[in-house]
Amino acid sequence: MKKLLKTIAVACCSVACMTGTLGFKAVSADTELATGCKSAYLIDYNSGECIYKSNETAHMPIASVCKVMTLTLCFDAIERGELTFDEQILISDNAAGMGGSQVFLDSGLKYPVEQLIKSIIVCSANDSCVALSERLAGSEEQFVAKMNQKAEELGCADTVFANCTGLPRETQYSCAKDVAVMFKNLIRHADYFKYSKIWLEDFAHPDDRTTSMTNTNKLIKRYSYCDGGKTGFTNEAGFCLACTAKKNDLRLISVVLGGKTSEDRFNSTIKMFDYGFANYKNKIVLDKDVTLNDDFAVSGGKKDSVAVKPERNSYVFSAKDGTPEITYNIKSFQVKAPVGCGQKVGEIEVYKDGILVDCVNVIAAEDVQKASFGDYFIRNASEWAI
């Protein structure tokens, strides 16, 4: 494969809001995609750019969709090393006594974290939510404070949590736009997808009982590109769904709230996904497996330069018939040997139509050892020979 891109310097530009739109306008509610739902929002996962919106900031109850934040705090704790999948959690009377959707945990018995998380993702288990909240914060009330703190950190100004399950409380609400932001943050955890496509599975209890779990997100069976989502329903909230689907390099996130029927939320989500995949694309503009044209200078090494590449892929989102101008600004650090393969040595800023849309670390694609006295002697001797 040919080396990637010529280094292009660009003038400093203002940073775009990553949940805005660049180069096109989001489709408004005038285009009927979310039929029978009070609120809807559709975004590109990588950029956060909005494709479709309808009443997206209206304050509404979201029922069990609030478990998106419950799961986020669990996966965040695992990422920080504060919780492990195989840790055994002792179930309290309070957790075991939760109503609504549940896996009927036994008070006084211990369950592995992995099983509890799986039961929340697959069948929206309220008892597992409370058990994990008590483990991570000491009580559900303290855990809810952490949920609200995380929402604030994510910029979700139209969200207030009052419990970790989504059971009706007058004081809690969110909106379709905030839910999309929260769900986007959740699915950055790759482990989420280990469980999100499970359709039917038995939940094993320590006393040899089993509880059958069926996925509440019917789109993992009905829509081939769907690989995750979180449903919610109460009489107050109606039928809700936060969902994701991926086709080729394009991953979308859809949120619908306040559906009149369960079919409304699923059919509206399919319409939104179909619209997004038909009209938009993600183009890879930096490939983590392709070295850049320009090596970076190295001081004090056996070599005076090192081959470099992007740490991860970068994509630019646009309409399928769009031709955005893509430019780059490569920033190299002062690099001293020794240099290890994978070491960060700079950054690449990616600009779409003059607006900063991504910043990717540049890493060494090879090792460069520190020069020895003999290396300096040979190098100087060759210069003398000239």
The full set of domain ranges for the chain reads: 1-25+287-386, 39-282
Give pLDDT tens digits for 359-385: 999 999 999 999 876 655 555 555 555
> CA dist 196 to 41, 221, 369, Å?
21, 12, 45
Please, what is the average pLDDT of the chain?
A: 90
Give pLDDT tens digits for 108-147: 999 999 999 999 999 999 999 999 999 999 999 999 999 9
1-25+287-386 and 39-282 in the same fold: no
Give pLDDT tens digits for 321-333: 999 999 999 999 9
> pTM of the predicted model, to two decimals?
0.86
pLDDT at 28 over 80: no
Give pLDDT tens digits for 164-208: 999 998 899 999 999 999 999 999 999 999 999 999 999 999 999
Give the whole-angstrom CA distance, residue 53 versus residue 224: 24
Cβ contact 301:292 at 8 Å: no
> CA dist 105 to 123, 126, 215, 230, Å?
13, 10, 18, 21
| Average pLDDT for 99-110 | 96
Please, how many CA atoms are within 13 Å of residue 245, restricted to the half-sphere of its CB? 25
Cβ contact 25:261 at 8 Å: no
Class of domain 39-282: alpha beta
CATH number, span 1-25+287-386: 2.60.410.10
**Closest to 283 measured CA to CA, from 244, 337, 321, 340:** 321
